[in-house]
C-alpha cells in the first residue's frame, strides 16, 4: 500500500467524502451535513469520523458507541473510493479503528450491511477481518433486503 495517513475528518474533506459516499452508493451525500454536525460541534465527543489519505482522501469511516451499553460500538460507515478499492485501504482503516477502540476499552464492534447479492464482497471483507455474523433481520431495509449484523470482540 502506498504511503497513507489516517486522521480525523476535517470540514474541508466533506466534498471528497461526499464523492466517495455517492460513488459507493452508501447513502445520499446530502445526508453528510446532518450526520457530521454533532461531530464538528464536539470533536472530542463520542462520535469518530476518520479519513484515509493518499495524496487525497481515499476512504472514510464513522463509528459511535451503542447507546445504553458498556463498551459496545457501531461502525456506521466505511467506504473506499472505488478507484482505490482492493489496495488494502479498508483493511488499514479497520485496523486503526479496532486499535483505537480497544485502547479505549471498547469490548465489541458491530457492523451492519445488506444481505443483497451485490454486498457479498462487503460481507466477505468483514469475514476476512475476523467478524462473525451475529444476526440477520429479514426484509429490514426493504422486501428482499436483509440486514446482516457482524460482531467482533476486541
How many residues are there in the chain?
154
Q: Give residue limits of the domains in the chain.
A: 1-102, 107-154
Q: What is the sign of the dihedral through the CA atoms of 91, 96, 102 and 104?
A: negative
3 state DSSP class of 143: coil
Topology adopted by domain 1-102: Aminopeptidase (3.40.630)
Answer for the pair 66, 73: CB distance below 8 angstroms, yes or no: yes
Q: What share of the chain is helix, strand, coil (3-state, %, to 5)?
A: 35, 35, 25
Contacts of 103 (CB under 8 A, 6+ apart): none
Q: What does pTM read for this prediction?
A: 0.92
pLDDT in tens, 10-55: 999 999 999 999 999 888 899 999 999 999 999 889 999 999 999 8
Amino acid at each position: 500500500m502506498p504511503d497513507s495517513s489516517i486522521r480525523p475528518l476535517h470540514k474541508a474533506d466533506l466534498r471528497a467524502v461526499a464523492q466517495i459516499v455517492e460513488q459507493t452508493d452508501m447513502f445520499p451525500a446530502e445526508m453528510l451535513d446532518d450526520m457530521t454536525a454533532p461531530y464538528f460541534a464536539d470533536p472530542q465527543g463520542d462520535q469518530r469520523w476518520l479519513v484515509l489519505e493518499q495524496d487525497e482522501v481515499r476512504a472514510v469511516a464513522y463509528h459511535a458507541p451503542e447507546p445504553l451499553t458498556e463498551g459496545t460500538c457501531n461502525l456506521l460507515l466505511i467506504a473506499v473510493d472505488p478507484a482505490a478499492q482492493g489496495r488494502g485501504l479498508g483493511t488499514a482503516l479497520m485496523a486503526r479503528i479496532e486499535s483505537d477502540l480497544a485502547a479505549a476499552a471498547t469490548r465489541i464492534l458491530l457492523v451492519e450491511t445488506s444481505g443483497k447479492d451485490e454486498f457479498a464482497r462487503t460481507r466477505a471483507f468483514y469475514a476476512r477481518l475476523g467478524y462473525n455474523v451475529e444476526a440477520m433481520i429479514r426484509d429490514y431495509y426493504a422486501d428482499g433486503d436483509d440486514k446482516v449484523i457482524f460482531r467482533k470482540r476486541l
